[in-house]
Amino acid sequence: MQIIPAIDIIEGKCVRLTEGDYAQKKIYNEDPLEVAKAFEGIGLMRLHLVDLDGAKAGTVVNWKVLEKIAHKTSLEIDFGGGIKTEATLQTVFNTGAKYATIGSLAVKNATLFAEWISNYGAEKFMLGADVFEEKIAIGGWLEKTNVSVFDFIKSYLDIGITQLFCTDIQKDGKLEGPSVDLYKKIIAKFPFLGLIASGGVSGLEDLKALRNAGCVAAIVGKAIYENRISMEDLSKF
């Protein structure tokens, strides 16, 4: 199982939220590049970069942070937050993202997203399923929907998406453990999906549980910043 560290950006700084609440914001580093270089330095190869300003504004805001990290590290970056138009999608690819992370748009404008998959290739996208009680939430988690996570996944598997990360909002940023049971249900239904776990990881035991559940990767954020998982532990894992 691969470890994908997360850097969430507000006003150009590395932050973490709790339960997706912008009011529950904690700044961990003023310089996201410094954080990214530390991850690269222990041998990690990917980075999950989230533009929280962009998610809220509905357009990419922190693309300069992406550009800086992409040009000054060798990390494979998936970038999300505010990608709503083809122009913003191209900005994300042109400034160095290997994958575009799409969440809200995949719910609100499935036709446009299907067009992008057709034009750019499904392998260029990482689908984000943010979940509240097995239903999809969108817009930086500010808006709940009645769309079942299972129906959502199936609709995009049918048109070629192969990697998806799933975040249980009720777990995210709380260090109370990930939604292993939910991931097991998803993997049982879609055994050929590359499922990436996200949210709630509190320590190494959680990572082992996710690996045993069949997740291909785990996105880890707050547990690293709060020193629940050391950089040394991550490099060994």
Q: pLDDT digits over 131-179, tens only?
A: 988 999 876 556 788 999 999 999 999 999 999 999 888 776 667 889 9
Q: What value does the mean pLDDT take over residues 41-60?
A: 94
Strand partners, 46: 76
Considering the segment(s) 2-236 as one domain, its CATH architecture is Alpha-Beta Barrel (3.20)
Q: What is the number of helices (H) and of strands (E) in the chain?
A: 11, 12
Q: How far apart are CA 66 and CA 198, in angstroms?
A: 20
| Catalytic (active site) residue 168 | no
- Specify the pTM: 0.92
| Catalytic (active site) residue 78 | no
Instruction: List the chain domain ranges.
Output: 2-236
42 pLDDT exceeds 90?
Answer: yes
Among the listed residues 51, 78, 130, 172, the single catalytic one is 130
Decide the pairing of beta strands 2-10 and 163-168: unpaired
What pLDDT is stored for residue 25 in this prediction? 82
**pLDDT per residue as tens digits for the range 9-30:** 999 999 987 767 778 888 999 9
Decide the pairing of beta strands 135-138 and 125-132: antiparallel
Q: How far is CA 166 from CA 14, 74, 75, 189, in A?
A: 21, 25, 21, 14
Q: How far is CA 203 from CA 11, 130, 198, in A?
A: 28, 21, 13
34 pLDDT exceeds 80?
Answer: yes
Q: Is 225 left (phi over 0), alpha (psi -120 to 50) or beta?
A: alpha
Q: How far apart are CA 75 and CA 140, in angstroms?
A: 24
Assess contact for 224 and 7: CB atoms under 8 A: no
Q: 145-158 burial string, b = 16+ CB within 10 Å, else e?
A: bebebeebbeebbe
Model confidence at 80, pLDDT cuts 50, 70, 90, reads: very high
**Cβ of 228: how many Cβ atoms within 10 Å?**
16
Residue with tokens 């191209």: 90
Among the listed residues 8, 51, 168, 172, the single catalytic one is 8
Mean pLDDT of the chain: 92
Lowest mean pLDDT among 112-116, 170-174, 199-203: 170-174
Cα 23 to the chain's mean position, in Å?
Answer: 20
